[in-house]
Amino acid sequence: MSHPVILGVGYAVPDNKVSNDDLSKVIDTNDEWITERTGIKTRYISKDENTSDLAVRAALKAIDDAHIDPKVIDCIIVATLTPDAMMPCTAALVQAKLNLSHQRMMVFDLNGACSGFLLALQTVDALIQSAQVTTALIIGSETLSKILDYTDRGTAVLFGDGAGAFLVSSSSNAHPWTHFVNTQGDLEDTLSTDGLSLNASLKNIQGETPYLRMKGQAVFRFAIRAVEDAIRQVILKSNLSLDEIDLIIPHQANARILGHVADKMNFPLSKFVMNMDEFGNTSSASIPIAFAQAKAKGLIHKDMHVLLVGFGAGLIWASSLIEL
Cα separation, 81 vs 5, in Å, equals 26
Q: How far is the CB of 34 from ligand ACO (least distance, A)?
A: 6
Q: How far apart are CA 91 and CA 93, in angstroms?
A: 5
**CA atoms of 300 and 293, how far apart (whole Å):** 10
CB 146 within 8 A of CB 210: yes
Annotated catalytic residue within 251, 254, 275, 305: 251
Using CB under 6 A as the criterion, what x/- string covers residues 24-53 for binding ligand ACO?
Answer: -----x---xx--xx---------------
Site string for ligand ACO, 134-173 (x = CB under 6 A): -------------------xx--x----------------
**62-91 mask for ligand ACO (x: CB under 6 A)?**
------------------------------
The minimum distance between CB 105 and ligand ACO, in angstroms, equals 29
Among 110, 226, 253, 255, binds ligand ACO (CB under 6 A): 253
| Distance, CA of 15 to chain centre | 19
20, 50, 254, 281: the active-site residue: 281
What's CA 150's distance to the chain center, in Å?
22
Strand partners, 171: 3
Q: How far apart are CA 237 and CA 89, in angstroms?
A: 34
The DSSP string of 121-160 is: HHHHHHHHHTTS-SEEEEEEEE-GGGG--TT-HHHHTTB-
Q: Is 102 a catalytic residue?
A: no
List residues near ligand ACO by CB under 6 A: 29, 33-34, 37-38, 113-114, 153-154, 157, 191, 214, 216-217, 219-220, 223, 253-254, 257, 281, 283, 312-313
